[in-house]
Amino acid sequence: MPVSPAHADTATPRLQVQRLTKRFGALVANDAVSLTVMPGELHCLLGENGAGKSTLSSCLYGLYRPDEGDIHVDGKEMRFASPADAIAAGIGMVHQHFVLVPTFTVLENIIVGTGSGWRLPAAEARPKIEAICRRLSLALDLDAEVGDLSVGQQQWVEIVKALYLGARLLILDEPTAVLTPQESALLFASLRNMLADGLSIILISHKMNEVMQADRVTVLRRGHVVGSVRTAESSRHELTTMMVGRALSAIEAGERSHDGTTILSVKNVSMRDERGVSLLSDVSLDFHAGEILGLAGIAGNGQRELFEAICGLRPIDAGEIMLEGQSLNHRNPHEIYRMGVGHVPEDRFKDGLVPDFSIAENLVLGDHREKPWRQGLVLATGRLREAADEAIRNFSIACNGAEAIVRRLSGGNAQKVILARELARASRVLLCNQPTRGLDVGVIEYVHRQILEKRDAGAAILLASEELEDLIALCDRIAVIFRGEILAVLPGRQADIAEIGRLMAGGTDMQAGDQDGDRNGARNGDRGMSN
Partner 1 sequence: MAITAVMGYRIERRSTRSPFAWALALVLAGACALLVCAGLFIAAGADPWQAFAALLKGGLGSKRAIAETMVKATPLILTGLACTIAFRARLWNIGAEGQVFAGAMFAYWCQSALGDAPAPVQIAMIVIGALIGGALLGGLAGILKARFQVDEVISTVMLNYIIVYALSLLLQNGPWTEAGSFFEQTAMVPDAAQLPVILAKTRLHLGFLFALVAAAVVHVMLLRSSLGYEIRAAGSNLRALEFQGVKITRLIIVVMAISGAVAGLAGAFEVYGVQHRLKSGTLGGLGYTGIIIAILGQLRPIGVVAAALVFGVLLNGATLMQIKSGVPSALIYAVEAIILMFFLIAWAASEFRLRRLHHVE
Q: CB count, 10 Å around CB of 81?
A: 9
DSSP β-bridge partners for residue 76: 73
Smallest separation (angstroms) from partner 1 to the CB of 35: 19
Smallest separation (angstroms) from partner 1 to the CB of 197: 32
Q: How many residues does the chain have?
A: 531
Pairwise CA distance, residues 135 & 1, whole Å = 8
Please identify, using beta-carbon distances, which residue of 287 and 307 lies nearer to partner 1.
307
Smallest separation (angstroms) from partner 1 to the CB of 369: 5
Smallest separation (angstroms) from partner 1 to the CB of 24: 7
Please identify, using beta-carbon distances, which residue of 398 and 512 lies nearer to partner 1.
398
- Say which residues have a Cβ less than 8 Å from residue 335's Cβ, sequence separation at least 6: 312
- Say which residues have a Cβ less than 8 Å from residue 190's Cβ, sequence separation at least 6: 136, 137, 138, 515
Smallest separation (angstroms) from partner 1 to the CB of 329: 15
**Sheet of 318-323: strands edge to edge?**
278-288, 262-272, 318-323, 326-327
Smallest separation (angstroms) from partner 1 to the CB of 450: 20
Pair 529, 179: CB distance under 8 Å: no
Smallest separation (angstroms) from partner 1 to the CB of 463: 18
DSSP-based three-state secondary structure for 385: helix
Please identify, using beta-carbon distances, which residue of 84 and 196 lies nearer to partner 1.
84
Stated as kind and residue range, the H or E segment containing 502 is helix 497-504
Please identify, using beta-carbon distances, which residue of 438 and 458 lies nearer to partner 1.
438
Vertex 380 angle, CA 376 and 382, to 5°: 150
Output the CA torsion sign for 209, 210, 214, 219. negative
Pairwise CA distance, residues 423 & 454, whole Å = 8
Smallest separation (angstroms) from partner 1 to the CB of 56: 15
Q: Give the end-to-end CA distance of the chain in Å, rounded to a whole number.
A: 29
Per CB under 8 A, residues contacting partner 1 are 24-25, 63-65, 67-68, 79, 81-82, 311-313, 332-337, 343, 345, 349-357, 361, 365-366, 368-369, 374, 377-379, 381
Please identify, using beta-carbon distances, which residue of 316 and 480 lies nearer to partner 1.
316
Please identify, using beta-carbon distances, which residue of 337 and 446 lies nearer to partner 1.
337
Please identify, using beta-carbon distances, which residue of 137 and 375 lies nearer to partner 1.
375
Give DSSP secondary structure letters for 127-156: HHHHHHHHHTT----TTSBGGGS-HHHHHH
- Say which residues have a Cβ less than 8 Å from residue 435's Cβ, sequence separation at least 6: 344, 415, 419, 447, 451, 463, 465
Smallest separation (angstroms) from partner 1 to the CB of 513: 40
Please identify, using beta-carbon distances, which residue of 58 and 182 lies nearer to partner 1.
58
DSSP-based three-state secondary structure for 119: coil
Please identify, using beta-carbon distances, which residue of 147 and 355 lies nearer to partner 1.
355
Smallest separation (angstroms) from partner 1 to the CB of 421: 10
Pairwise CA distance, residues 292 & 298, whole Å = 19
Please identify, using beta-carbon distances, which residue of 422 and 470 lies nearer to partner 1.
422
